[in-house]
Amino acid sequence: MTGGRLHPFTLLAIAGALPALAWILPAPAGGAWTATVALVLTLTPGASPGLTSTGSSPGWRPGLVVLRTAVLTAAPFWLFLLLLHDVPTTIAIGLRITTMVASFVWLVAALQPARLVEAMVAAGWSASVAYLLAATLSAVPVLKARARRIVEAQRCRGLSPGGGIAARLRALRALALPLVLSALHEVDERALALETRGLVPGIRRTPLAPPPDPAVEQAARWALLLACLFALFRRFV
């Protein structure tokens, strides 16, 4: 049962349920339990850094990397909480944030976007919804690289990004506008590409490699949902 082979929806369910339970269950015991589970999850083999694509060999090492990312992301919150609140509140909120951070960092490591897109298509989601998420995910690095290239190109024709606030805001305009205008200009070509390659409304898209979704996992997802609802019911009734 490694993170890598679970159905994407199961990964999402777990990563959603743990933080929900952390907030619903009475503090600090609830938070402590969920935080521990989340941190242990990050150690599960196969939780290779899917999205952060830092490359990984199976075994414990990637798990430690994921755990370290989770801890490093959660740590500053504890510091700021101490700054603002007394100790019991800090512990209560800190455990909840740690649960959320750990479960999401694990999700990001375990979830491959291609499998999520295939799962959405196989589950009958419209191809357009899957397109929105996946296309944004792949467009971000492309436009970020373009933004860096534009900053370099504009500096090579004399633009100084420094100076006073007014100078920096003018520089911001000379750097942001080219990025936005060139990206907007390409919307038409992207639409033409989608049209010519068949992504038109109302199609029955063939899932390429739909991840297996065994009944036990589907049951587990419903169980998690019921557990959260039950805990919510008990907490407020």
Q: Which 32-61 residues touch another protein, going by CB under 8 A?
A: 51, 53
Q: How far apart are CA 41 and CA 89, in angstroms?
A: 25
Binding to another protein, residues 1-20 (CB under 8 A): none
The minimum distance between CB 33 and another protein, in angstroms, equals: 19
- Candidates 6-14, 57-65, 148-156, 222-230; binding stretch for another protein (CB under 8 A): 148-156
Binding to another protein, residues 78-137 (CB under 8 A): 80-81, 83-85, 89-90, 93, 96-97, 100-101, 104-105, 108, 112-114, 117, 127-128, 130-137
The minimum distance between CB 103 and another protein, in angstroms, equals: 8
- Cα atoms found within 13 Å of the Cα of residue 31, Cβ hemisphere only: 17
- Candidates 40-48, 54-62, 181-189, 223-231; binding stretch for another protein (CB under 8 A): 181-189
Per the structure block, which two tokens stand in for 143? 């436009």
Residue among 197 and 215 whose Cβ is closer to another protein:
197
Residue 75 touching another protein (CB under 8 A): no
Residue 207 touching another protein (CB under 8 A): yes
